[in-house]
Amino acid sequence: MKHTKIRRLRWPVLLFTILVVSSLLLSACTGAVAPATTGGSAAGSAAAGEPVKITWWSWNGGPPVAGAQLGDPPQLVVEFNKTHPDIQLDWKFYQYNDYLNALKLAVASGEGPDLFGLQAGALVNEYNEFTEDLNPYANKDLGANWQDQYYALGFGGVTIGDKLPGMPIFNSAAGQLWYNKTILDKYNLQPPATLDEWVSVCKTLADNGETCFVHGAKDAWVNFDMYIALANELAPGKIYEAEAGKVPWTDPDLVKAMDLWGEMFKNGIMQKGALGISQYPDANDIWDAGKAAMILFGMWNDSVMTKTALATMQKQLGLTETFEFLPILFPDVNGDGKPGQLFGGPDVVLSMSSTSKNKDAAWEFIKWAASKEGGQKIMADNVSIPAMKGLTLNDSDISTDAQKANLKQQLVDLENAAGKREFVYPELKTALGDALQNVASGTQTSQQALEAVEQVSQGIQR
């Protein structure tokens, strides 16, 4: 009967079925692979007439093209491609967390992009061996003392010995207290010039039902900014010495700075639940929508003073009024009558991959991006702080005269920057981040927290 025949054939049937099914599947699936599209990284020098293709990956590509969609290539890429028809620069945007993952794997497998962005400090250190030294290129094309034309702080946390692993294209400094003038004017308040004033301004605002200061304490980096600002006010430069291991983290000045930090969570400056929100997008959204009077930011935020940015915000957030935002230097904490200093460095440096097959083309882009008529002009035109000295920022789109004057002053303040913003040792960053959050939540005292940091610091091989 039919059944007995099948029994004898059972395993061939099974095998056959599996093979047929799997091959059908695979052919169906792989057959649907997209037609060949433009590849990722370049491969060798171009044939005559064809542009050399290079790729650039970063989480920050500089100012966007006006009116473009958020995901489109930034001005640096568009302008460079226009003026260099023999090179085609492909840009790839990654959000920062994704970027860390993607870049690591790409670089480790030797198939990374020709150009990639790095943050000063830890990132530059870790990726150093995969970057090309830019000094030989720069010395040849830009002249012997080319670094003098650039802000010194642009090289902080970047140069390693004699090697330049990345070129600063635009700088940013932190330590600015931004305030919403529209809100403060409503209550006849002035932005605080001292720590005590800060507390009292916050009290007035709180009494009137407004949020005084918004801070995304979930993010370590913005907590660092606040702590560095406090520490530099009490003892300029000491925090950098502690990072270098020359001074213990339990130094009285650093402890006092930590105390002040902790107090902010009790004296009304920090909003309730600050530890539960991120700076971007949460705190920034609250700030942009005019729901808080102050926030701690840096010069990268200058674009909110432009009419274009305000219009975009209004559309995206559905606002009914526009605000006047202005930054001031950090309030005076140590009572010497002078406000705090800015601290910062290169926002993102441009690095060339040491395994790139198109180093000359890649260098062309770096050179152009760092040049006065090329990338630096784009920075200045877009209210971004150029790495090069001596450019005037374009303030035609700035809303008010007060803001225009403020912008000019910022560049002056930048020359007096106290130091850098990025720490070099990842373990130290983690430990300090934990310490700041623990003190903020009251889980640890300043002394305990900094002792833990010091312990980690001592274990670092410097």
Partner 1 sequence: MFTGVGQRYNSLIQLVLTLLALLFVFPLAVMVSVSLRGEGFGNYLAVLRHPMIPRFFLNSVIVTACTIVLVYCITILAAYAFSKLPLRGKTVLFSALLVGLLLPAVAVMVPLFFTIRSLGLMNNYLALILPYTAFALPFTTLLARNFFDGLPNELLDAARIDGCNSFTALLRVVLPLSRPISVVVVLWTFLSAWNEYFLVLLFMQDDQMKTLTHAPQFFVGVYSQDTGKVFATLVLISLPIMVLYLLLQRYFESGMTSGALK
Partner 2 sequence: MQITSETANLVTPVAAPARPRWRGWTNYLYLVPIFLIVGGLIYYGIVYTFYVSVLDWNGMSATRTLVGLKHFLGIARDPIFWLTLRNTAIFGFLAIFIQMGVGLLMAVMMYAPVRFKALYKVIFFVPVVISPAVTAYVFRRIYNANDGELNLILQGIGLGGLQQSWLADPKIALFALTAINIWQWTGLSFLMYYAGLTLIEDSYYEAARMDGANFLQLLWHITVPLVRPTSFALLILGVIGALKTFDIVFLVTGGGPGRSTEFLSTYIYKKAIQEFNAGYASALSVVMLFVALLLTVIQLRAYRDQ
Question: Out of 27, 409, 430, 455, which residue is the one contacting partner 2 (CB under 8 A)?
Answer: 430
Within 10 A of 405 (CB to CB), how many other CB atoms are there? Answer: 13
Out of 40, 92, 93, 104, name the contact with partner 2 by CB under 8 A. Answer: 104
Scanning the structure block, which residue is given the tokens 């010194």? 152
Q: Which one of partner 2, partner 1, none interacts with residue 141, CB within 5 to 8 A by kind?
A: none
Residue 451 in contact with partner 2, rule: CB under 8 A: no
Nearer to partner 1, 327 or 339 (CB): 327
What residue 218 binds from partner 2, partner 1, none (CB within 5 to 8 A, per partner kind)?
A: partner 2
Q: How far is the CB of 34 from partner 1 (least distance, A)?
A: 5
Task: Give CA–CA dist 366/140, Å, rounded.
Answer: 14
Q: Which is nearer to partner 1, 111 or 141 (CB)?
A: 111
Residue with tokens 């010039």: 193
- Tell which one of 136, 276, 335, 390 touches partner 2 (CB under 8 A): 276
Nearer to partner 1, 64 or 154 (CB): 64
**Which stretch, 167-175, 276-284, 303-311, 411-419, contacts partner 2 (CB under 8 A)?**
276-284
Rule CB under 8 A: say whether 440 interacts with partner 2.
Answer: yes
What residues numbered 125-144 form the site for partner 2, per CB under 8 A?
126-127, 129-130
Selection from 118, 238, 220 nearest residue 435 by Cα? 220
Buried b (16+ CB within 10 A) or exposed e, 308-340: ebbebbbeeeeeeeebbbbbbbbbbbbeeeebb
**Least CB distance to partner 1 at residue 59 (A):** 7
* CB 32 to partner 1: min, Å: 5
**Contact between 222 and 445 (Cβ < 8 Å):** no
CB of 351 to partner 2, least distance (A): 14
CA angle 295, 301, 307 (to 5 degrees): 110
| Binding segment toward partner 2, per CB under 8 A, in 119-127, 355-363, 375-383, 409-417 | 119-127
Q: What is the DSSP string of 261-300?
A: HHHHTTTTSBPTTGGGSBIIIIIHHHHHTT-EEEEEEEGG
445 near partner 2, rule: CB under 8 A: no
Grouping H, G, I as helix, E, B as strand and the rest as coil, residue 24 is: helix
Partner from partner 2, partner 1, none contacting 316, C-beta within 5 to 8 A by type: partner 1
Is residue 11 part of the contact set for partner 2 (CB under 8 A)?
Answer: yes
Bridging pattern class, strands 343-352 and 115-118: antiparallel
Q: Supply the Cα-derived Rg of the chain in whole angstroms.
A: 26
Place of tokens 């670094």: 147
Q: Residue 405 is encoded by which pair of tokens?
A: 């004057």
Q: Where do contacts with partner 2 occur on this chain (CB under 8 A)? A: 10-11, 14-15, 18, 22, 100-101, 104, 107-108, 122, 126-127, 129-130, 211, 217-219, 271-278, 281-282, 291, 426-427, 429-430, 434, 437-438, 440-441, 443-444
